[in-house]
């Protein structure tokens, strides 16, 4: 329902605002799901070396910024 989707969006927005690590966790979960799908596929997938971590390189920068 539209109300359910609106409430879900609101809860996710609150989680992001209150805890930046929530975004990092969602990125990791998405990357794991994509990697599993690719691994289980009979098709061959060629990735550029910059794409091998599926965008998780930015998490290192987030972690380094928190240490300063």
**What confidence tens digit (pLDDT) does each residue in 13-34 have?**
888 888 878 888 888 888 888 8
Average pLDDT of the chain, as a whole number: 77
The domain containing residue 38 runs over which residues? 2-67
Q: How far apart are CA 34 and CA 44, in angstroms?
A: 14
In 3D space, the residue among 6, 5, 26 whose CA is nearest the CA of residue 15 turns out to be 26
Task: Check residue 53 and give its pLDDT.
Answer: 60
In this structure, are residues 56 and 28 in contact, taking their beta carbons and an 8 Å threshold?
yes
Tell me the two tokens of residue 15: 């989680």
- Range scoring the smallest mean pLDDT among 2-16, 18-32, 54-68: 54-68
Domain count, the chain: 1
pTM beyond 0.85: the answer is no
Task: Tell me the CA distances in angstroms from 19 to 11, 22, 44, 49, 67, one per residue in order.
Answer: 12, 6, 37, 30, 16
């Amino acid at each position: 329902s539209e109300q359910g989707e609106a409430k879900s969006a609101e809860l996710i927005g609150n989680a992001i605002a209150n805890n930046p690590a929530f975004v990092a966790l969602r990125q990791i979960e998405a990357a794991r799901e994509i990697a599993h799908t690719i691994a289980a596929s009979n098709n061959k997938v060629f990735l550029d070396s910059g794409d091998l971590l599926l965008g998780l390189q930015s998490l290192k920068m987030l972690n380094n910024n928190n240490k300063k």
